[in-house]
Chain A
Amino acid sequence: MSHRLLVSAAAIPAALGLLLSQTPASGQTAPAAATKAASTTKAWTPPRIPDGHPDLQGYWTNNTITPLERPKGLGEKEFYTEAELTELMKNEQNRVALNEEEGRPTEPGTDADVHYDFSQFGLDRGQTKLSWNRRTSLIVGPEGTIPPMLPEARKRNAAIAARNKGHEFDGPENRPLSARCLVLGQESVPMLPGGYNNNMQIVQGAGYVATLHEMNHSVRIIPTDGRPHAASEIRQWRGDSRGHWEGNTLVVDVSNFDPRNPFRGSGEKLHVVERYTPVDKNTILYRFTVEDPETWDKPWTAEIALSRVDGPIFEFACHEGNYGLRNTLQGARVAEQDEAAKAEAGAAKAEAGAAKAEAGAAKKAGK
């Protein structure tokens, strides 16, 4: 399917209007008819790089508290009201303040408690710059959720899970890609924020756009010179990106994903179209459409603002300090030894019991 069919061109200005007009500065009076603002939003003319294309370069974050999928209780409500948004911002401010003072609320002795406290290290997502808007979910439209997974996709994913079951700690290859420092959610395609380090840099050159992601210091090179995708047998963790410009929008078509890095249960036919539209000096609207005919019966679209932040992007160097992988596997080996020792002790006890019973029986028979 052509990527041009995935996203309606008409949807973009409307989305921009909503995003920009429905995000009031705290303390200001909200515009009375925010939803009508699409027609009144002034078109932003971005600066150009020497080849004439819009200049998207700089450091950006997609940090947000808006969930990908709409919480169930909200039904088809796609946008909060201005008052609700203000309330949400206040709630978030209070939550962060409370966490900084008292720590992350978890129940001692539970798995959730086995973690360092994000807020102590400035890693709570509310402690860094957040992109606010009135959306109730990043996924657009009345449903606001990922379409139901097709039965064959559920079956495929269940088979993968069944194969891994009981072998999660066999060796490094069995650990998740993130625990192996190979690829993390923040740097994947489509880009979604995680708990922290949601920063990226965009660099442009003639015929190329490149993105550098703080988590986990990876570069994605996007040719914009019209070349076709790599051959379909060439698979990459984050797919194969090809870009082109539609007006001020950088459109990136991504295919050839390695199915070992699935996105929300996707398979080999995952196809993503990203649209990067500069909407003001400090904001790029990032909108993506995902399709995979072997996983969902229809494409789905989400959008999130990229907000300008200060650089630089700090090094991540994940492998060098990845003691966690070693500790996890070593812990599993120790647990196995403990289990084996316990089983051996149990067997010895059973054997001693049997011998005793045998001796008792012999004694009884001898009488």
Chain B
Amino acid sequence: MSGIGLLLAAVPAWAHHAFAAEFDASRPLKLHGTVTEWEMINPHSWIHIDVKNDDGTVVSWMVEAGSPNTLLRLGFSKNSLPPGTELVIDGYQAKDKSNRAVGKNITFPDGKRLFLGGSANELKGNDAAKK
């Protein structure tokens, strides 16, 4: 039966654009900083963070993240990620080498992941499934 799962796992996830055209797979990075702004916009939200270097200087980064529509539906809002929130971001830098990155994985300093879709415990089917 496990073969069925494998067959269906190949369903493509359509996205707005090809991320590999915008970000560089050979430039992975890890940013530890605090949120200054969350642009909750489409087609992708952007998290702005200030990263403090070892010498005390601060560098601002913009990090590409998920489309807000589903988050709104789940009850998240712009206030769910207030300025000052500390984040650790694993991602890749933009191909133009600017301070922009894609946030592959975003966690709080204790390792907890930023958001959860929150549906894993409940299988959501259509009403036709109850017939």
Contacts and interface: CB of A to CB of B under 8 A. Distances in A.
Contacts of B28: 108-109
B4 A88 contact: yes
B32 to A, nearest CB: 17
Given A25-B130, A169-B21, A324-B22, A121 B95 contact: no
B44 A321 contact: yes
Place the interface of chain A in its size category: 35 or more
Nearest to B1: A87
Contacts of A96: 117, 119-120
A303 to B, nearest CB: 12
A194 interface: yes
A279 B19 CA distance: 40
Place the interface of chain B in its size category: 35 or more
A307 interface: yes
A20 interface: yes
Contact of A103 (B74, B97, B105): B105
Given A100-B116, A331-B21, A324 B43 contact: yes
Interface string B108-131: 000001111111110111111111
B115 A122 contact: yes
Contacts of A168: 21
Nearest to A127: B117
Given A121-B115, A123-B66, A169-B21, A95 B9 contact: yes
A24 B15 CA distance: 31
B61 interface: no
B44 A324 contact: yes
B8 A65 contact: yes
Nearest to A74: B7
Contacts of B42: 216, 315-318, 320-321
Contacts of A330: 94-96, 98
A19 interface: yes
A178 interface: yes
A115 B70 contact: no
Contacts of B68: 314
Interface of B: 1-5, 7-26, 28, 39, 41-46, 62, 64-74, 76, 91-92, 94-98, 100, 102-106, 113-121, 123-131
Interface of A: 19-21, 23-26, 65-67, 71, 73-74, 80, 84, 87-89, 91-93, 95-97, 100, 103, 108-111, 113-133, 168-169, 175-176, 178-179, 181, 184-186, 194-197, 199, 214, 216, 279-283, 305, 307-308, 310, 314-318, 320-325, 327-328, 330-335
Given A120-B113, A283-B127, 18 more contacts: A23-B131, A92-B123, A115-B102, A121-B65, A124-B117, A130-B124, A133-B128, A175-B17, A179-B16, A186-B14, A196-B69, A305-B128, A318-B42, A323-B46, A324-B16, A324-B22, A328-B17, A331-B21
18 contacts: A20-B128, A100-B118, A114-B20, A114-B23, A116-B104, A120-B114, A121-B66, A123-B117, A127-B118, A129-B124, A130-B123, A131-B125, A279-B128, A280-B128, A305-B126, A325-B17, A330-B96, A335-B95
